[in-house]
Structure 1
Amino acid sequence: MDNQTIDIIATGDIILGKDCEYLFDHARPLLQAADITVGQLEVTHTDRAAHAAALGRTPQNLKPIADAGFDVLTLAGNHLMDYGKEGIEDTIQWLDEHHIHYVGAGMNLAESRRPAVLERKQLRVGFLNYNCVGPQETWAGQERAGNAYIHIVTHYELDHANPGGPPKVHTYAEPKTMGWMKEDIDKLKGECDFVVVALHKGLVHTPAKLVDYEYQVSYEAIDAGADLIISHHSHILKGVEWYKGKPIYHGLCNGFVYLPMEALHTGPLPDNWAERRKALFGFEPDKEYKNYPFHPEAKFTMFAKCTIDASGLIRTAVIPCYVNKTGQPELVGQTQKGQEMFEYLRKITEAAGLNTSYEWDGNEIVALPSGK
Structure 2
Amino acid sequence: LTLDEARRPAVVERDGLRIGVLSYNCVGPRESWATSRKPGCAYVKVLTHYELDHASPGGPPAVYTFADPATLERMAEDVAALAAEADVVTVSLHKGVGHTPAVLAMYERPVAHAAIDAGAHAVFAHHAHIMRGVEMYRGRPIYHGLGNFVTVTHALTPATGDAGERAEWARRRVELYGFAPDPDMPYYPFHPESRNTAIAVCRFDRDGSGSAGLVSAGLVPCWIDGAGRPVPLGDDEEGRRVVSYIEGITRQAGLTTEFHWEGDEVVLRG
Q: Provide the residue aligned with 1:154 in structure 2.
A: 48
- Indicate which of 216, 227, 248 corresponds to 1:315: 216
Q: String of CA shifts for 1:202-245, please: whole Å, max 9, x gaps.
A: 00000001011101101111111111000000000011112111
Name the structure 1 match of 2:10: 116
Give SS of 2:19's match: strand
CA distance in 1, matches of 2:80, 2:170: 47
Quote the offset at 1:266 in angstroms. 8.2
Q: Is the 8 A contact 2:7 2:42 kept in 1?
A: yes
**Per the alignment, in what secondary structure is the counterpart of residue 148 of structure 1?**
coil
Task: Give the aligned partner of residue 127 of structure 2.
Answer: 233
Could you say which residue in structure 2 is the equivalent of 1:181? 75
Aligned in 2, Cα 1:358/1:267: closer, same or farther, shift over 3 Å?
closer
Contact 2:157 2:189 (C-alpha < 8 Å) held by counterparts: no
Q: Secondary structure at the match of 1:147?
A: coil
2:28 maps to: 134
- Within-5 A mapping of 1:101-112: 106=1, 108-112=2-6
Alignment of 1:4-43 (within 5 A): none
TM-score scaled by structure 1? Answer: 0.67
- Describe the shift of the 1:123–1:266 C-alpha distance in structure 2 as closer, same or farther (beyond 3 A): same
Do structure 1's residue 264 and structure 2's residue 156 form an aligned pair? yes
Query: Could you tell me how far 1:324 is from its partner in structure 2?
Result: 0.6
The structural deviation recorded for 1:282 is: 1.4
Distance 1:211 1:109 in 2: 26
1:269: Cα distance to partner? 6.4
1:297 to 180, 183, 193: 193
Cα-Cα RMSD? 1.9
Q: Show the counterpart of 1:288.
A: 184
Residue 156 of structure 1 aligns to a residue in which SS? Answer: strand
Matched, 1:253 2:154: no
1:334 counterpart (223, 235, 239): 235
Note closer, same or farther for the CA distance 1:112–1:275 as it changes in structure 2 (3 Å cut). closer
Which residue of the partner structure matches residue 354 of structure 1? 255
Q: Percent sequence identity over matched residues?
A: 47
Within the alignment, does 1:221 sit opposite 2:115 as a pair? yes
Going by fraction, where is helix more abundant, 1 or 2? 1
Deviation of 1:267 after TM superposition, in Å, equals 7.8
Cα gap change, 1:340 to 1:266, in 2 (>3 Å): closer
- How many pairs align? 261
Give yes or no for contact 1:134–1:151 (8 Å, CA) kept in 2. no
State the distance in 2 between where 1:270 and 1:336 align. 41
The 1-side partners of 2:141 and 2:114 are apart by 13
The 5-angstrom pairing of residues 36-75 of structure 1 reads none
Higher relative contact order (CA 8 A, sep 6+): 1
Task: Structure 1 unaligned segments of length 5 or more: list them.
Answer: 1-105
Query: 2:18 corresponds to which letter in structure 1?
Result: R
Task: Tell me the distance in 2 between the aligned counterparts of 1:363 and 1:144.
Answer: 46
Query: Structure 2 stretches of 5 or more lacking a match?
Result: 207-211
Task: Determine helix, strand or coil for the equivalent of 2:241.
Answer: helix
Amino acid at match of 1:296: P
Distance change (3 Å), C-alpha of 1:143 and 1:275:
closer
Of residues 94, 97, 116, the one that matches 1:203 is 97
Change (3 A) 1:266 1:339: closer
Displacement of 1:246: 1.4
Per the alignment, residue 209 of structure 2 pairs with none
